Amino acid sequence: MKTQKEIVVGIIEYISRNLIGAEQVLTELDSHIGDGDCGIGVRKGFEAVQKIIPELNTIELADIFKKVGFTLAYTIGGTSGAMLGTGFIELGKGLKEKTEPDILDWVFAVNFALEGIKRRGGNTKVGDKTMIDALEPAVMSMINSVDTNKEINPVYILEKALTSAREGSENTVNLAAKKGRASYLGERSIGFKDPGSVVICIILESAYDYLKKSV
């Protein structure tokens, strides 16, 4: 059986491959309500992550996330560079020094990442038409799974979280943006899906796919 570190690096490889493949989709979404660079930036960021995969295998679990986060923030630029970078770094911080976190530790860390991004975005809220519209429902679903349902199977937890994220992402279509560059379009941003929310869905989907295969 794989160690948690091996699984995490495997998930990061999946995420990288899938987000690089999504360049065109993201860029097209960002051209409607942003400046059309979301796909380019994300691709550049995860190409840089692919290059450090060997190094990731040699460091501590929490540092893997921090390292990925800084790499993204160094290479993407713009808003998504800061947001995704912050997310990974805070996730690393949220794991504290734990080398074998349990499911509650993981959900705590993911929630810590969510709070970090919201803070970084200037107190982003659900309904602002950003990646938070996908991420917050997903994290709420995870909390609900472990808290109320006492669910401990990560594949199930992720599957439900992914469903919530996708719903949240779809909902952004009907929203007028209140944060980020799309907010300058005001009402004219209605009718288009937020690209950052799609990034979140792809990240969760990649994690789910990988886990389903490996456990």
Partner 1 sequence: MKKIMNLPENFVKEMLKGLAEAKPDTLGYIPEKRIIYRKDPFTNKVALISGSGSGHEPDQAFYVGKGMLDAACAGPIFAAPTLDSIVDAARLIDKGRGVLFLVKNYTGDRANFEMASEMIEFEGGPIVETAIINDDVAVKDSTFTAGRRGVAGAIFVYKIVGAKSEEGTNIDELKKLALDVNANVRTMGYALKSCTHPEKGSPTFELGTDEIELGVGLHGEPGRQRIKTERANVTISRLLDSIVSDLPFKPGCEVAMMINGLGGTPVSELYIACSIAHDILKAYGIKVFKSYVNNYCTSLDMEGCSISLLNLNEEFKHLLLMPADIPIRYF
Ligand X SMILES: Nc1ncnc2c1ncn2[C@@H]1O[C@H](COP(=O)(O)OP(=O)(O)O)[C@@H](O)[C@H]1O
Residue 51 binds to partner 1 (criterion: CB under 8 A) = no
* Of positions 194, 201, 202, 211, contacts ligand X by CB under 6 A: 194
Q: DSSP of 23-49, one letter per residue?
A: HHHHHHHHHHHS-S-HHHHHHHHHHHH
195 binds, among Mg ion, ligand X, partner 1, none (CB under 5 to 8 A by kind): ligand X
Residue 32 binds to partner 1 (criterion: CB under 8 A) = no
Cβ proximity to partner 1: between 19 and 175 the closer is 175
* Closest CB to ligand X: residue number: 196
* Of positions 195, 205, 206, 210, contacts ligand X by CB under 6 A: 195
184 binds, among partner 1, Mg ion, ligand X, none (CB under 5 to 8 A by kind): partner 1
Measured between alpha carbons, how far is residue 191 from residues 25, 29, 173, 175, 178 in Å?
16, 11, 5, 8, 14
In angstroms, the CA 182 to CA 133 distance is 14
| Number of residues that this document lists for the chain | 215
Distance of CA 103 to the CA centre of its chain: 18
Q: Please check whether residue 162 is in contact with residue 138, taking contact to mean a CB–CB distance below 8 angstroms.
A: yes
Rounded least distance, CB 211 to partner 1, Å: 29
Cβ proximity to Mg ion: between 164 and 197 the closer is 197
Residue 179 binds to partner 1 (criterion: CB under 8 A) = yes
Cβ proximity to partner 1: between 119 and 213 the closer is 119
* Of positions 11, 16, 34, 49, contacts ligand X by CB under 6 A: 34
Q: Please check whether residue 101 is in contact with residue 88, taking contact to mean a CB–CB distance below 8 angstroms.
A: no
Cβ proximity to ligand X: between 168 and 195 the closer is 195
194 binds, among partner 1, ligand X, Mg ion, none (CB under 5 to 8 A by kind): ligand X
Instruction: Quote the radius of gyration of the chain (alpha carbons, Å).
Output: 16
> Residue 177: which of 215, 126, 108, 128 has the closest Cα?
128
